[in-house]
Amino acid sequence: MSQSTATKHVDAVVIGAGFAGLYMYKKLRDDLGMTAQVYERGDGVGGTWYWNRYPGARCDSESYVYCFSFDEDLLQEWSWSGKYPEQPEILEYLNHVADRFDLRSGIQFNTSVTAAHFDDDSGMWTVETDQGDRVTSKYVITAIGCISTGQIPNIPGLDSFEGEWHHTGAWPHEGVEFEGKRVAVIGTGSSGVQSIPVIARESEHLTVFQRTPQYTIPAQHGTVDQAFLKEVKANYAEIMQQAKTSAAGFPYDASEVSALEVSDEERLKTYEELWQKGGFHFMLGSYSDIALDRRANDTASEFIRGKIREIVDDPETAEKLLPRDHPFASKRALIDTNYFETYNRDNVDLVDIRHFPIEEITSTGLRTSDGQEYEVDVIVFATGYDAMTGTFLKMDIRGSNGAQLRDKWSDGPRTYLGLAAASFPNMFMITGPGSPSVLSNMPVSIEQHVEWISDFIEYLREHDVDVVDAEQQAEDEWVDHVNEIAEQTMYMLADSWYLGANIPGKPRVFMPYAGGVNVYRERCNEIAAEGYTGFTMSESREPALTD
Ligand code: NAP
């Protein structure tokens, strides 16, 4: 950290201006009357939806629940056009929110936080940015997204490639021209599965490089049904309440039936109906034990494999696409539009890089370990993210007595509730590791965290507390609980980014909380009602600069 003196003091620094940062800033300013500075690395608001402009990008949550619920007028006035919200429309929505609540004045764009150090004597943070800002604040609140640091595999030769290449999470604003081009897409996660059908239509030829075959469910996307929308708007409060008290943050009725207690015929009928309904309904609405019992899960996995065989014309290609090495939904469940159908196109080839990895990127394309060369003009890296911890650890975050977050998390993230970390006083994380976050409909989890943090800050103010820190024991118990719950699920049976398995050398630790949004919310509420158990609270050793 530089030695120059701070140029500014605020009550809180908020890092990021996506869903989380926007709402957090609004809460701090409007409800708590605090001064806050938001730093945002993009030149506009939107976070994930600012960066992910790849073809076909849209959210897998249905649009009517992929939004803020804190303002009834906002809910009523905004109308989504699609069943699922497309990236440009989500970005428009977040810009609308920023304007409607006059939030831009608190945001400094094109600015990344590089360091945040806590000073035990003053009870203050000093925050530095890549633009030379140096600011002190009582609180630091991270709103940095869970999936915001892209990973490009370390394949030799990328520097020598003479064509264009892009990562899906840093897509050029002006778009990429695919017409007449030979394109390679590496990766078949959510970003690959969404972009592949669109790129196939736009390009001359597409080669998909697949490491792990995926289960994906059709979105059954379309325009919003106006009658449905009218009904939603008439019952919005109730619908949002149902989402908040559900396990995954969706207002869907959860099944209480085991996949193993119904006849094969009935089960197939249910799966077929939910396949036709599309999206997360298949996973969340079918059977109660799909995520918990391998035999129950096998019935869903086999149903999807049957669908792949049915959809894909060429049996050899179909065989390559069949996921067999992990159970359905043990990696992030995928939702697609015409993904498997795309392999029936004459201009699309599938390359199995599980058995023949990409060995080199040459000036003209890619070479796999079986000696095959693929000449392409554009390479699309749909290769994912250093999720949940990557963005934290890019920053130099130091807490009490100079403790470094990088050291603390060297064997995997450790937090209390995914909201705070012991020895990092007055720092809160919105949807941090150890919270339901990525296993839920994100705006629902974000709102819960922002509101919980705001209530806590209000409480601290009322009780004249200057410094608050998570207790080590509370954190240890929470981490144990997160692990214990994860062990009971299918999630442990796949090499997924939930476990950090996609990043070479990253500790294999299950990072989100799989116990459900509803259970988690209740626990957070109980902790608040008990006077915020699991936190130590003290007055600062020196008077605070403001208050
Ligand atoms: P991802 O799910 O991590 O998928 C990355 C893909 O790249 C996987 O197929 C992976 O193969 C492959 N890959 C990674 N490293 C590789 C390497 N070294 N060589 C070859 N292949 C490699 O990333 P993503 O698709 O960007 O999605 C990340 C998350 O963002 C999603 O799970 C989701 O939570 C979110 N997201 C959501 C939406 C949406 O709501 N619609 C859209 C996009 C993203 P392996 O499977 O073998 O690792």
pLDDT in tens, 510-546: 999 999 999 999 999 999 999 999 999 998 555 444 4
β-pairing, 378-381 with 182-186? parallel
Atom of ligand 1 nearest to the CA of 187: 7
E-assigned strands of 63-192?
Answer: 107-108, 113-119, 124-129, 134-142, 164-167, 182-186
Is the CB of residue 59 below 6 angstroms from any atom belonging to ligand 1?
Answer: yes
Q: What is the average pLDDT score of the chain?
A: 96
For 454-472, what is the mean pLDDT?
A: 97
Q: Is the confidence at residue 177, as pLDDT, over 50? A: yes
> Distance between CA atoms of 545 and 547, rounded to whole angstroms?
7
* pLDDT value of position 7: 79
> Rounded to whole angstroms, what are the CA distances from 288 to 312, 371, 489?
30, 46, 12
E-assigned strands of 314-355?
Answer: 334-336, 348-352
> Distance between CA atoms of 521 and 526, rounded to whole angstroms?
9
Residue 59 Cα to ligand 1 middle (Å):
14
> Rounded to whole angstroms, what are the CA distances from 19 to 69, 377, 443, 446?
12, 36, 7, 7
Residue type, 427: M
> Rounded to whole angstroms, what are the CA distances from 172 to 165, 239, 384, 398?
10, 37, 17, 34
* pLDDT value of position 384: 98
Token pair of 139, please? 């609180």
Nearest protein CA to atom 15 of ligand 1, as residue: 383
Atom of ligand 1 nearest to the CA of 497: 3
* pLDDT value of position 3: 58
Token pair of 248, please? 């995954």
β-pairing, 427-429 with 134-142? parallel
Is the CB of residue 211 below 6 angstroms from any atom belonging to ligand 1?
Answer: yes
* pLDDT value of position 382: 98
Token pair of 399, please? 């807490």
* pLDDT value of position 500: 97
* pLDDT value of position 277: 96
Nearest protein CA to atom 33 of ligand 1, as residue: 190
Residue 339 Cα to ligand 1 middle (Å):
15
The set of residues, in sequence order, having a beta carbon less than 8 Å from that of 320 and lying 6+ positions away, is 210, 213, 350, 352
Which of 323, 60, 47 has its CA nearest to residue 188? 323
* pLDDT value of position 238: 97
For 300-315, what is the mean pLDDT?
A: 98
Residue 399: CB atoms within 10 Å:
23
Contact between 38 and 16 under an 8 Å Cβ cutoff? The reply is yes
Atom of ligand 1 nearest to the CA of 188: 9
Is the CB of residue 192 below 6 angstroms from any atom belonging to ligand 1?
Answer: yes
Q: Is the confidence at residue 139, as pLDDT, over 70? A: yes
Which of 82, 68, 62, 87 has its CA nearest to residue 225? 82
Residue 167 Cα to ligand 1 middle (Å):
11
Is the CB of residue 149 below 6 angstroms from any atom belonging to ligand 1?
Answer: no
Nearest protein CA to atom 19 of ligand 1, as residue: 153
> Distance between CA atoms of 67 and 19, rounded to whole angstroms?
9
Residue 187 Cα to ligand 1 middle (Å):
6
Element (H, E) at 126: strand 124-129
> For residue 467, which phi and psi values (nearest 5 degrees)?
-130, 125
Residue 496 Cα to ligand 1 middle (Å):
9
Give CA torsion, residues 49, 54, 60, 61, to 10 deg. Answer: 20
pLDDT in tens, 12-60: 999 999 999 999 999 999 999 999 999 999 999 999 999 999 999 999 9
Is the CB of residue 147 below 6 angstroms from any atom belonging to ligand 1?
Answer: yes
* pLDDT value of position 6: 64
> Distance between CA atoms of 85 and 431, rounded to whole angstroms?
21
Residue 298 Cα to ligand 1 middle (Å):
23
Q: Which residues pair with 433 in a beta bridge?
A: 435
Nearest protein CA to atom 18 of ligand 1, as residue: 153
Probe residue for ligand 1, chosen from 158, 351, 502 as the CB with the greatest number of ligand atoms within 8 Å: 502
Residue 72 Cα to ligand 1 middle (Å):
35
β-pairing, 124-129 with 134-142? antiparallel
Task: Count Cα neighbours of 453 within 13 Å in the Cβ-side half-sphere.
Answer: 32
Token pair of 79, please? 């109308």
* pLDDT value of position 543: 47
Token pair of 35, please? 């001064």
Q: Is the confidence at residue 120, as pLDDT, over 50? A: yes
* pLDDT value of position 545: 47
pLDDT in tens, 251-291: 998 899 999 999 999 999 999 999 999 999 999 999 999 99
Q: How large is the greatest C-alpha to C-alpha distance in the chain, in angstroms?
A: 73
Residue 203 Cα to ligand 1 middle (Å):
22
Residue 462 Cα to ligand 1 middle (Å):
45
Write out 483-503 in H/E/C secondary structure.
HHHHHCCHHHHCCCHHHCCCC
> Rounded to whole angstroms, what are the CA distances from 102 to 4, 26, 66, 94?
32, 9, 21, 12
For 197-219, what is the mean pLDDT?
A: 98
* pLDDT value of position 4: 59
In this prediction, residue 108 has a pLDDT band, given cuts at 50, 70 and 90, of very high
